[in-house]
Structure formats: C-alpha cells, structure tokens
Amino acid sequence: MDSNPPHLKTNFADNDRLQMLKNAFEKKYGKSPKFYAHAPGRVNLIGEHVDYCGYSVLPMAIEQSILAAVSVNDSETIELANTNPQYKDFRVSGTEEIDIGKDNPQWHNYFLCGVKGIQENFSLPSLVGMQCVVDGTIPASSGLSSSSALVCCAGLVTMEANEKSLSKVALAEICAKCERYIGTEGGGMDQSISFLAEKGTAKLIEFNPLRATDVQLPSGAVFVISNCCVEMNKAASSHFNIRVVECRIATKMLAKVKGLEWKRLVKLAQVQTELGASLEEMLSLVEEVLHSDAYSRAEICQALGITPEQFSTDLLSSNTQHVTHFKLYQRARHVYGEASRVLCFKSVCDSQPADSIPLLGDLMKESHASCRDLYECSCPELDQLVDICSKAGAVGSRLTGAGWGGCAVSMVPSDKVESFIRTVRETFYAPEPRRAAMEKQSLFVSKPGGGATIFIEE
C-alpha cells in the first residue's frame, strides 16, 4: 500500500477527457503538457465527522475527479487556469512565501494549499515554474470532496514538477495538514482515500498511524449518489469548525472527570485509549458525565478551571470565536456511536452473512438519524432526499460528507437500481427547475475507483 502514486503511459485516443484537456492546454499556452495529474473525489459510506476525533472511516473513491495538465519551465512562476470559465486564472511567484486567503476562499486557494504543503515538506526555497490547466468533474460543495481532491491534485503536481518523490501515505498526510491553511480543521479522510484508493474496493481508513484496509462490499447491491443541490462550503462557513471545537471541549470535560491529563488530550478517541474502555463504555460515560442542555462558556470554564481568555485562545478556532453555547453531550454521543457503526459495517462486509445487505442498510439509517438529530449536520432538503431514497427502494440511505447540504448515498439492490433512479428523478428533481437542470451530474451509480495517478501521453 505505501508505494508511490503510479505513473501510467496512456493512449489519449482511448480517453476523451484527457484529450479535451490537452486541447484546452494547447489553446491556452501554445504547447503540450509534460504530464497530467489525477485525484479522485470520494463518497463516505459510513463514519461521518469522526476522522478528526481519531476514529476510522469507510469511504471509497468515485469516478469523478480533479485532473490537471501541467508543463514545467524555469520562470519560477505558477500559472493556473480552469476549464470552467467561472473559475478565474491566477498566477503567483514560486520564489515568495505563498499566502492563502481564508476569507471567501477561491478555487486557486485550495490548489495553493497543495503547492505550499509540498514546498514546506521539502524546505524548497523556490519552486519550478508551472503552467496548469485544471478540469473538475466533482460537483462543488456537494460533500464528495471536490476541495480536498483539488488540494491532493496540486500536491501531486507540485511534487512531480519539482522532481521529488513521496509515498501515497506521505502525500495523504501532507495534504491533510496543508488543507488546514484554508481554515478547515478536517481529519484526513478525504486526502487519504484520494491517494490510497484502489479500484473495486472500499477502504477502512485508520489514523495514527495512517493505514488503509480493503473492504469488499457485498455483491447484489450498488451505491447511488444523489445531490440535494444545496451547496455547503466548509471553509467559507463556521458550521464544520464549531463541531470540531465541541468535540475538543467534550474530550477535555470527559478526561478531567476521569482524572486524565486533560490539557494534552484533544480527540475523543484519545479518552477511550487512555481509559482502555470500549465504545459502549464511552457511550455510558457520556450519559453519566455530560448533560443534554447546551453548555455556556462560563460553565465550561468553571468545570475546567480556566479563564475566559484561556477558553478563547486554547479551545476555539479563529472562526468560532463568536459561539456562546456548545452541545457537548450530543456531539460526543454521535462520535462514539458512529465509530461503533463503522466497525460493525466492516465486520458485516468481512463476514458476508446472508442478510448482509439489510444489516448494512440499517447501519446507514442509524448513521443518518445520528447525523440529523445529534450532530445536527443535515438540512431539510437532505432529509427530504434521504426519505425519498428510502421510499424508492434503498435498503439504507444517509448523508455523506460534511453535511448541511451536499449528497446522500443510498445502498440499492442491483435489481432495483433503474426503478430507484427513475423514482428519485421524478419525485425529487423533476418538480423543481433548478434541481432538474442539475440532475444529470447529481444522480448516479458509483463503483469503487482507483487513487491519485500521474498520466503520461504515449
């Protein structure tokens, strides 16, 4: 698994997208690209909002991806263009420190995260000049990891252009870390599956140390992705980071009650590890220690014995300074329950009992209910879509990605896929013109795809 991303020689006659991108590059820059870098999006089958708490997730890569055509020169200038005209051209010097704007981030800011991550990893005083044209087929702000795939693609591009070499695991860890320059405190799932994915299998992704294990999905069912058409940009809003902060505070409250060194613990998984407890025991501890009413700043400060200034500095992020109340009980209950569901999902896939499809479907249903009610990361349109998917024949349906919009993933028996898609199209998309216009790229079957790749034209 811990090999370098593959370099594949490819006949472009067999690949319309690569040929179209080559044509766009030649029209833009008047020469041919040296190489192409590809990083896929992903759908998380189960395990929402647990990676940044230290727990395993179970995603698979999807066919939709970020693809970049690249040429290299000695100008020490990085020029970026996009096949989508709504994303404007950008250029930056490779000899100066790269500044990544967190306020209202643009598409090129995500690309620059990947560039900066590689530059810092190798302590490069300057970067080789690059001309890049980027093409994306992952719907933006849909919960399918378009932003992380762009960061991963940029990291891969920068490594290759500067003639450096890194393993898939190293690249995933660098890209997870450098995406935080944009202000999102993610946990690493998106970058990990983008690099570590293998065609035909989902992956259990574990952290500290990062590793990926094949998960063979049962035959007889497929996963269908449907977009509720409400966009959610993690970096441009504070919803995501508020949940990260609430989990961090819950970690410290639980640790302090149990006499642990709470100041150094930042993830809910660390409390479980320190206590040597099971996930069921952690759920009981949450019931015992935390109350269901939201906690005020004053109550948390009193419980932890810290000042309001320490609370703001040590526990909050820059875009959560305005938050006054924190739902610690609900967030911790979701995380420990969801972590348990991930392990159950993997166990069912491994043992393949006769009723594996309904068992997995039930876990997906429980996951969505927890995301909706405890983590409060759904939205009315997403709940409506999940309900329609369930009635259309899915054995299980749930939000996937950060939430607050974006996509649902549904497990559908293979013999019901056509009727399922027809019903969802007629019930959710067709009645609303905006959704109907987006339906073609918003409702599709997905099979487990491969990971990040460098393509060279034959």
87, 69, 84: which is closest to 22 by C-alpha? 69
Cβ atoms within 10 Å, residue 380: 9
Record the tokens describing residue 65, joined without a space.
């991806």
230, 92, 111: which is closest to 182 by C-alpha? 111
Provide CB contacts within 8 A for 227, sequence distance 6+.
139, 142, 406, 407, 438, 441, 442, 443
Give one DSSP letter per residue of 277-327, joined into a string. Answer: --HHHHHHHHHHH--SSPEEHHHHHHHHT--HHHIIIII--GGGTT--EE-
| 190 has catalytic annotation | yes
Residue 385 DSSP symbol: H
Rounded distance, CA 90 to CA 348, Å? 48
Phi, psi of 267 (to 5 degrees): -125, 145
Question: Could you tell me how far CA 121 lies from the centroid of its own chain?
Answer: 22
Question: Could you tell me how far CA 61 lies from the centroid of its own chain?
Answer: 11
Rounded distance, CA 32 to CA 70, Å? 9
Phi, psi of 369 (to 5 degrees): -60, -40
Provide CB contacts within 8 A for 105, sequence distance 6+.
182, 183, 233, 235, 236
Residue 193 near residue 213, CB atoms below 8 Å: no
Task: Identify the active-site residue in 99, 190, 350, 362.
Answer: 190
Cβ atoms within 10 Å, residue 276: 7
The catalytic residue positions are: 190
